[in-house]
Copies of this chain bind each other. A is one copy, B any other.
Amino acid sequence: MTTIKSVTLIGSGNVATHLGIALKKAGIFIDCVYSKTKENADALAQMLDANYTDKIKDIYSNSDLYIISVSDNAIEKVAKKLNDKLGKSLSVVHTSGVTPSTILSNYFDSYGVLYPLQTFTKNREVDIAKVPFFINSSDSSLEHRLYILALNLSPKVFFLSDEKRKVLHVAAIFTNNFTNFLLSVTEDILKQENIPMNYIYPLITETAAKVTDELSPAKIQTGPAKRHDQNTIDTHSEYLGKYPDYKELYLKITDMIQEKYK
């Protein structure tokens, strides 16, 4: 079995960018970067010493692996076009948490998923060795090659079914998207009162550190909701009267915590 030595990268967003950089660092050759926006394809291709194109019909069949890293609703469209041009014989993966690998099944004989679970931001370096990768494939040979490829990027590589990866993705929404939104509420409230955001940084850090130090969040819950401290809840709620949405969210989560710790 040959290992994957070259890749065509389809997409130029956050995941494609960080994955492309990591692959190149690991010695994988990036044949071509595709993006529907030519400038984006060009920019990422320059970073990766790759060719680029904004036309799927200009992609060639010489890569060991094709990585589709586009928004979920574009995956099938791109797969279909790639199949139209190059047939079913390519090895193709996507990088989505929520979309099943089987979305590629009509278009390629050998398909799978390479899902890096991290929040990527352009222009922010990520230590890829700390990113867990989740892989699966209907083709055991491709699965094996994906495993070896991912191990070149990070020691944290796991097999995970489409169904379980979807659950992990839902969990990631609560963990990152929703948490980040709560932090934006914090930012907003503090800004209104000219209270520096950095006053709360140590609390943000420790909140995360407790859980990643293996304390169960259910067991370390604190606060007025958990204590059923109605006076404090009323004081907060009254203050939040000027932010009706935040007040509603405050009361909603407070109710859920009170219900959990009756």
Contact = CB atoms under 8 A, between A and B. Distances in A.
Interface string A219-262: 01111111101011001100110000110011011001101100
Contact of A132 (B186, B199, B249): B199
B229 A71 contact: yes
Given A170-B189, A200-B117, A180 B249 contact: no
How many copies altogether? 2
A126 interface: yes
B124 A210 contact: yes
B217 A187 contact: yes
A200 B171 contact: yes
Nearest to A160: B195
A239 B170 contact: yes
Contacts of A198: 214
A172 interface: yes
A177 B208 contact: no
A177 B119 contact: no
A85 interface: no
A187 B210 CA distance: 13
Contact of A182 (B167, B182, B216, B223): B182
Contact of A121 (B172, B174, B179, B215): B215
19 contacts: A72-B229, A119-B206, A119-B222, A130-B202, A167-B189, A171-B195, A175-B182, A175-B200, A176-B207, A177-B224, A178-B250, A179-B179, A179-B207, A181-B217, A181-B256, A183-B217, A184-B217, A245-B256, A249-B256
